[in-house]
Amino acid sequence: MRKLFFMLILSVSVFSADLTLEIVKEVEKRPLISVEDASVSFSDGLNRKFFKMVLADLKVTSHFDVDESYKRASFDEGFDLASYAKNDLILRVKLDFDEFGNLYAAIKLFDMKKREMAFQKSYKIRGAERYPFLAHKIVCDVNDYTGAEPVDWMRRYVIFSKYTTAKNAQIVVSDYTLTYQKTVIRGGFNVFPKWGDKNQKTFYYTAYEDKPVLYRVNLYTGERKRILSSEGMVVCSDVSRDGKKLLITMAPRYQPDIYLFDTVSGELKRITKYPGIDVNGNFVENGSKVVFVSDRLGYPNIFAKKIGSVGVERLVYHGKNNSSCTAFGEYVVYSSRESDNEFGKNSFNLYLISTRSDYIRRLTATGVNQFPRFSIDGESVLYIKQFQNQSALGIIRLKYNKNYLYPLKAGKIQSIDW
């Protein structure tokens, strides 16, 4: 029975905002931007990797037309305006190390329409392996200059659990492209990481010891605190915006239900009371309601319940296996099984719905797409795509109907948060 519940929870995942996002029609001309590499060539090709990362980030914003050709320049020379007559922007980047060994980037952004320097700025970061975050910061600033909607989610860490060997899983912190990765928890079976605050200083995860234990960890000090344990399971599926409330799936008597935990008082309140399976709770509608996965229909589906009320509302009338979801405001993205192959692979696709209307939109078309997570601004969705024996992180830019994939080179992703 214990194994059964454990396998069921492994099949689900979650999170929590507001958007019947209309797809932006690409009728307005996006600014054309070219990038120049003004770095001294690195023996390991770091400057070329950095250049490619900047180009890739600019494309993922969906706010630019990007000239992908590789260009060289001296940082202090003038801009060759005749060569960029069709351009709107020219970004010049110089990568180097400072006297303390920090990776250093200096940039100049030239606005061709105004025929002037838009801005000049420098950045630094400790550790050359963290160069993706320098690129992400630069692109966020260039994007902000144009007045486009912010893409600050690029700066954030992704945290995920990665299967390594049988009964072993690590907790890893990365950038959204998986280029930078750092293992922060290793040894044993460690799963379901969840950020504990908006600044990403703490996170929760479940360790399977004598029985499942929920821990909170300070990412910067390494301090680890035991929060709860349960005989059946204990998983933190969502955290309130102020970090004071947790939605936890527990099965103290091998009966999984959703609980509300107050991190200040330590009070634990049971939210669902159903003689079946309720898992994967997410806050919606400013924390007044919980969206969760339940087998109340004889198969996994998405339901909602106001905190403190008795009634439960069915949200999804599509699919026969809707086993993972994420929420933001009044909107929910869920994964639905699209096939019913008993002996072969099944496909799972992602859908966006509203808790207050019949709005529904399909987000993926093929393959196995699961465990969605909204970005902090609700503009994008992160998810896991499984193919063959490999995992990838997918990014959906909701307003622009664009999808990007970043494969994990080793191991398999179990669950994610950002």
Question: The domain that contains 58 carries what CATH number?
Answer: 3.40.50.10070
Residue-wise burial string across 280-308, b where 16 or more C-beta atoms lie within 10 A, e elsewhere: bbbbbbebebbbbbbbbeeebbbbbbeee
Q: Is residue 27 part of a domain?
A: no
Residues 41 and 18 placed together within one structural domain of the fold:
no
Helix axes 46-61, 131-145, angle to 10 degrees: 40
pLDDT of residue 29: 85
Q: Is residue 124 part of a domain?
A: yes
Residues 173 and 122 placed together within one structural domain of the fold:
no
Cα 149 to Cα 415: distance, rounded to the nearest angstrom = 28
Domain boundary among 96, 119, 145: 145
Residues 65 and 9 placed together within one structural domain of the fold:
no
Q: Given pLDDT bands bounded at 50, 70 and 90, which one contains residue 19?
A: very low
Residues 91 and 16 placed together within one structural domain of the fold:
no
The pLDDT of residue 130 is above 50: yes
Q: Given pLDDT bands bounded at 50, 70 and 90, which one contains residue 26?
A: low
Q: Quick: pLDDT tens for 92-125.
A: 999 999 999 999 999 999 999 999 999 999 999 9
Q: Is residue 165 part of a domain?
A: yes
Sheet with 234-239: strands ordered across? 234-239, 245-250, 257-262, 268-270
When the pLDDT of each residue in the chain is averaged and rounded to a whole number, the result is: 90
Model-level pTM? 0.89
Residues 132 and 158 placed together within one structural domain of the fold:
no
Q: Given pLDDT bands bounded at 50, 70 and 90, which one contains residue 23?
A: low
Q: Given pLDDT bands bounded at 50, 70 and 90, which one contains residue 373?
A: very high
Residues 257 and 206 placed together within one structural domain of the fold:
yes
Domain boundary among 115, 145, 175: 145
Residues 71 and 122 placed together within one structural domain of the fold:
yes
Q: Containing domain of residue 319, as a range? A: 2-22+153-417
Domain boundary among 145, 167, 200: 145
Q: Which secondary structure element, helix H or strand E, spans residue 291, and what is its range?
A: strand 289-294
Sign of the four-CA dihedral 181, 59, 370, 416: positive
Residues 39 and 64 placed together within one structural domain of the fold:
yes
SS3 category, 1: coil
Q: Given pLDDT bands bounded at 50, 70 and 90, which one contains residue 8?
A: very low
Residues 225 and 372 placed together within one structural domain of the fold:
yes
- Tell me the HSE value of 7 on the side-chain side, using a 13 A CA sphere: 4
